[in-house]
Structure 1
Amino acid sequence: MQDVEGYVHSVETGGSVDGPGLRYIVFVSGCPLRCLYCHNPDTMKMKRGKKTSAFEILKDVASYRTYFNTGGGGLTVSGGEPLAQPEFLKTLLLGAKKMGVHTAVDTSGYLGTKVDDELMDLIDLFLLDIKSWVPSTYKHVTGVELEPTLAFAKRLAELKKEVWVRFVLVPGLTDATENVEGVAKFVASLGNVTRVDVLPFHKMGENKWQDLGMKYQLSTTESPTPEATEAARDMFRKYGLNVH
């Protein structure tokens, strides 16, 4: 296995929401999406990240193996968009699998065609972000088309890869009943989604947009009420999904 360098935004140890157990999370830089509510806009441009050796990260991951073995954790690669750096991602995951470490990748699925068979086999769990079911809403929220994400989700279903789906509930953008139900029906049809996280919109990254000189378009949007969030979760439950 040869070392590969990639652009990394940051690393978090002890993460508890990006996969099962305690996770070592690598946030890579570079993303083709321009999500209106992105809380890490500084990851959008790849070269804003620090050029980092995959072997350097894997050496650090190795020091946490005891925690992974006792707590059922592992390595999660997030971003940014991990699939924007497929060779770097492949090296990280191959190294992790050689150590017997569980692997997860957090992705929009938009670059799913970059996942070849070798890379696919190295990923134990996909954390798939589905922003909307309505194509026009998806394009407005992300700046890209919806279809590549749906196609990738279907491919994962055909391969019976385990998937957790994430859906962000944004008042006035993604909270329409037909949109929430559309996502729920699609996700339920796949048969390989073991968990759905309905995440209420927040503005924790707004200051980062300002620091980068970028306009934050959701400055007047409020977080959904607890009741609205629970209603969205109930919609997913209605279709038999395991919701968090």
Structure 2
Amino acid sequence: MLNVHSIESFGTHDGPGIRMVVFLQGCKLKCQYCHNPDTIDTHGGEEIHIEDLVKKAVNMKSYFGDKGGVTVSGGEPLLQAHNLVPFFKRLKEEGIHTNLDTNGRLLNHPAIELLDNYADLVMLDIKHMTEEGFRKITGVQNKETTFNFAKHREASGKKMWLRYVLIPGITNTPELLHQLGNYFKDYKTIEQIELQPYHKLGIHKWEALGWEYQLKGARENTQEELKEASSILSNYFKKVKIN
């Protein structure tokens, strides 16, 4: 069983090709810019049998083509790593490409098994390059767990994409972008970095939950800022994509 928040049957922004995207319920972070805060509570969601999810994926297989497949996102999927292992294993048995969208803050035994054996691709969210910035954005300490996760994936030799949200003055500064690039410049497994322009589309969800949105004063990026960020990171990564 997996505790599922929702399923998107025709995703085009969550990995290569056309994908079935399974959003799992529950996350230990409370990112200030989260546009799906209703996925944070670990007690929400719907319990769905793994075989029912596999059947749904198999029925969609003709739409996946050569590049598509299944992406598991969240929330934070690694909170359910123990049950993700048999799910990804079954998908691989059916010849379906698997992708894990994660913040990388768990590296226990089932997570390692998932990474090493069954996740064809990992999309790793980099929240911030400093401990202070990471803590302010996420509400928790120790950004190093994410970087340890990246090191493990790099050692496995398997494909990885990075994701990074651009918040003017908070994460989108030349200094931080160069720091990000320098940290990962020698990684061989990183195929691309995806830049996520900051937006306020999730504010109404925060308000519906009775939570105060912490970034009301933040603004969206200008086109010039997006171009500059892409230009800086192009010095370090093979491909830079702005979503």
State the distance in 2 between where 1:120 and 1:156 align: 8
Structure 2 counterparts to residues 1-244 of structure 1, below 5 A: 5-68=1-64, 70-114=65-109, 115-117=111-113, 120-144=116-140, 145-244=142-241
Shift of 1:235: 1.1
Shift of 1:113: 3.0
Q: 1:62 to 1:181 in 2, by over 3 A?
A: same
Q: Is the contact between residue 26 and residue 39 of structure 2 (CA under 8 Å) also seen in structure 1?
A: yes
Aligned with 1:126: secondary structure?
strand
Q: Is the contact between residue 84 and residue 114 of structure 2 (CA under 8 Å) also seen in structure 1?
A: no
Question: Where does structure 2 lack aligned partners over 5 or more consecutive residues?
Answer: none
Shift of 1:71: 4.5
Shift of 1:8: 0.5
Q: Is the contact between residue 88 and residue 114 of structure 2 (CA under 8 Å) also seen in structure 1?
A: no
Shift of 1:95: 1.4
Aligned with 2:85: secondary structure?
helix
Amino acid corresponding to residue 211 of structure 1 in structure 2: A
Aligned with 1:46: secondary structure?
coil
Q: When the two structures are aligned, how many residues end up with a matched partner?
A: 239
State the distance in 1 between where 2:74 and 2:209 align: 17
Q: Is the contact between residue 116 and residue 156 of structure 2 (CA under 8 Å) also seen in structure 1?
A: no
Q: Is the contact between residue 132 and residue 180 of structure 1 (CA under 8 Å) also seen in structure 2?
A: no
State the distance in 1 between where 2:49 and 2:43 align: 14
State the distance in 2 between where 1:119 and 1:168 align: 23
TM-score (norm 1): 0.94
TM-score (norm 2): 0.94
**Larger deviation, residues 233-242 vs 132-141:** 233-242
Identity %: 36
- Give me the CA root mean square deviation: 1.3
Deviations 1:8-61 (A, max 9, x none): 100001111111110000000111111000011111112211111111111111
State the distance in 1 between where 2:97 and 2:150 align: 21
Q: Is the contact between residue 160 and residue 190 of structure 2 (CA under 8 Å) also seen in structure 1?
A: yes
Shift of 1:116: 2.6
Question: Where does structure 1 lack aligned partners over 5 or more consecutive residues?
Answer: none
